[in-house]
């Protein structure tokens, strides 16, 4: 890990140097407003690199701590450096795209005008599609696509206007303003294309949903009949009621509907019923743990917690943050277990036998966390004793 941390420091330092050069060239060509993202990433990278170097120095001090402390600092160094380099790479990629756009400005402007013309020719067809959909489906179904042809037309107007602005600013030598206008025009064309594509995609999705809906209704009715004969539970009963409600909520024949929403609701209800029946079958094949197993698991968890609490309490100031954090996690899970059982005191008697396996799993998790906290605490106490013995020139007790 130390070698990896050293490599990360070198790579991050070199990447910041390269980014500074990139920033200088880009500012000269695009202006400072277009390079703010990379400028911020460089400032943040320098700050992260400074912290990483401080951690690296701490690993070479006379009092450097335990090997675990050093490994933790090395891991943090790698994290800081990788994060800084990633942010710089992202901003450099964005800036490279802007530079390419600026250098190809005449070609890009011509492309915007061509694309806008082609997209504008699709708008009448998109309006016809929306009109046909409105005659077949409900207004709720079309809420996302009904206005998209008009929005696409507005975006294309904006794109063409922005392209003209970019041409004028470029001719006047105002390169930074020309580049901003060019980026706005490019983005507007992209969004207009997305809106028109969405209208055509929705038409196909709605037809597909409508064709699937009738088959799913029949399948749902068969699933209901089968569920009534399957092993029952509260979950199965609730799922049956949910599927019935989804079927009852379907509109009558001849009424405009939202086939995608209906299909989604019906699928979800069927999936819930399948899951509920599968849960009953799974419980039938897995014996429920007896109450004494639950009591033993909770008792063991509390014993482990008491042991680590006594160890920490008996050595104030000796136990490090890692052990204390692990102890805190164990105590939080123990509190959650008490709440799950109905009170913070965690009664041992359980009335719902189906919850016993979950309770045992939670109790075992408490015990595992407490055991790890105890191991870390004993490690810290041992290290403190060795350090104290070294100061006194003796051997640890």
Is position 59 within any domain? Answer: yes
In a domain, 86, yes or no: yes
pTM of the predicted model as reported, rounded to 2 decimal places:
0.54
Q: According to the model, what pLDDT value does residue 392 have?
A: 65
In DSSP terms, 137 is beta-bridged to 257
DSSP class of residue 138? -
How many structural domains are present in the chain? Answer: 3
Residue 372 lies in domain: 291-392
Does residue 183 contact residue 94 with C-beta atoms inside 8 Å? no
pLDDT at residue 342, as a whole number: 66
31 φ, ψ (degrees, to nearest 5): 95, 160
Q: Are residues 356 and 388 in the same domain?
A: yes
Residues 45 and 47: their CA atoms lie apart, in Å, by 5
How many whole angstroms separate alpha carbon 96 and alpha carbon 25?
Answer: 11
For residues 341 and 325, state if they share a domain: yes
23, part of any domain: yes
Q: How far apart are CA 11 and CA 42, in angstroms?
A: 14
Q: Are residues 27 and 83 in the same domain?
A: yes
In this structure, the answer to whether residues 302 and 363 fall within a common structural domain is yes
Q: Return the biggest CA–CA distance within the chain.
A: 94
C-alpha 59: how far from chain center:
34
Helix axes 67-103, 36-58, angle to 10 degrees: 160
Q: What is the pLDDT along the chain (397 residues), one digit of tens a residue?
A: 778 888 899 999 999 999 998 888 887 777 777 778 888 999 999 999 999 999 888 888 766 778 888 888 888 999 999 999 999 999 888 888 777 777 777 888 899 999 999 999 999 999 999 999 999 999 999 988 999 999 999 999 999 999 999 889 888 877 778 888 988 999 999 999 999 999 999 999 999 998 999 899 999 999 999 888 878 888 889 999 999 999 998 888 778 889 999 999 999 999 999 999 988 887 777 666 777 888 888 989 999 999 999 998 888 888 888 999 999 999 999 998 888 776 544 444 554 565 777 888 899 999 999 999 999 999 988 888 887 766 665 545 5
Q: Which residues contact 250 (CB under 8 A, 6 or more apart)?
A: 217, 257, 262, 266
Between the alpha carbon of residue 276 and those of residues 83, 261, 268, 279, the distances in Å are 44, 23, 12, 5
**Are residue 299 and residue 224 in the same domain, yes or no?**
no
> Taking a C-beta distance cutoff of 8 angstroms, is the pair 111, 155 a contact?
no
Q: Judge if 237 and 312 occupy the same domain.
A: no
Is 312 a member of any domain?
Answer: yes
Residue 63's φ and ψ, nearest 5 degrees, are -105, 90
Residue 356 near residue 350 (C-beta atoms within 8 A): yes
Tell me whether residue 367 is in a domain: yes
Please write the tens of the pLDDT for every residue from 160-187: 999 999 889 888 877 778 888 988 999 9
């Amino acid at each position: 890990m130390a070698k990896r941390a050293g490599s990360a420091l070198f790579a991050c330092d070199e990447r910041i140097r390269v980014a500074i050069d990139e920033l200088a060239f880009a500012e000269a060509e695009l202006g400072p407003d277009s390079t703010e993202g990379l400028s911020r990433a460089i400032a943040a990278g320098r700050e992260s690199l400074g912290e990483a170097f401080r951690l690296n120095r701490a690993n070479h001090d006379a009092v450097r701590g335990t090997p675990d402390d050093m490994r933790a600092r090395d891991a943090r160094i790698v994290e800081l450096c990788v994060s800084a380099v990633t942010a710089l790479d992202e901003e450099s990629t964005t800036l490279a795209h802007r530079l390419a756009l600026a250098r190809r400005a005449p070609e890009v402007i011509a492309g915007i005008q061509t694309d806008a013309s082609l997209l504008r020719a699709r708008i009448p067809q998109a309006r016809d599609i929306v009109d046909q959909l409105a005659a077949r489906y409900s207004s709720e179904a079309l809420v996302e696509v009904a206005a998209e042809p008009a929005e696409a037309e507005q975006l294309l107007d904006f794109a063409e206007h922005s392209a003209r602005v970019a041409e004028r600013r470029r001719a006047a030598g105002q390169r930074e303003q020309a580049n901003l206008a060019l980026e706005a025009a490019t983005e507007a064309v992209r969004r207009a294309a997305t809106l028109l594509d969405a209208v055509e995609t929705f038409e196909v999705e709605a037809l597909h949903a409508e064709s699937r809906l009738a088959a799913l209704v029949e399948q749902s009715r068969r699933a209901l009949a089968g569920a009534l004969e399957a092993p029952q539970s509260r979950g199965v009963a609730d799922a049956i009621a949910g599927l019935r409600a989804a079927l009852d909520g379907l509109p009558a024949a001849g009424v405009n509907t939202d086939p995608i929403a209906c299909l989604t609701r019906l699928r979800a209800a069927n999936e819930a019923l399948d899951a509920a029946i599968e849960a009953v079958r799974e419980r039938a094949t897995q014996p429920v743990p007896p109450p004494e197993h639950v009591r033993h698991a909770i008792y063991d968890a509390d014993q482990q917690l008491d042991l680590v609490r006594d160890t920490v309490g008996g050595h104030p100031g000796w136990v490090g943050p890692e052990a204390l954090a692990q102890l805190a996690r164990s105590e939080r899970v123990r509190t959650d277990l008490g709440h799950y059982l109905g009170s913070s005191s965690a009664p041992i008697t359980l009335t719902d036998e189906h919850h016993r396996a979950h309770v045992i799993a939670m109790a075992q998790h408490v015990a595992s966390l407490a055991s790890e906290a105890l191991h870390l605490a004993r490690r810290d106490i041992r290290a403190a004793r060795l350090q104290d013995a070294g100061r006194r020139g003796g051997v640890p007790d």
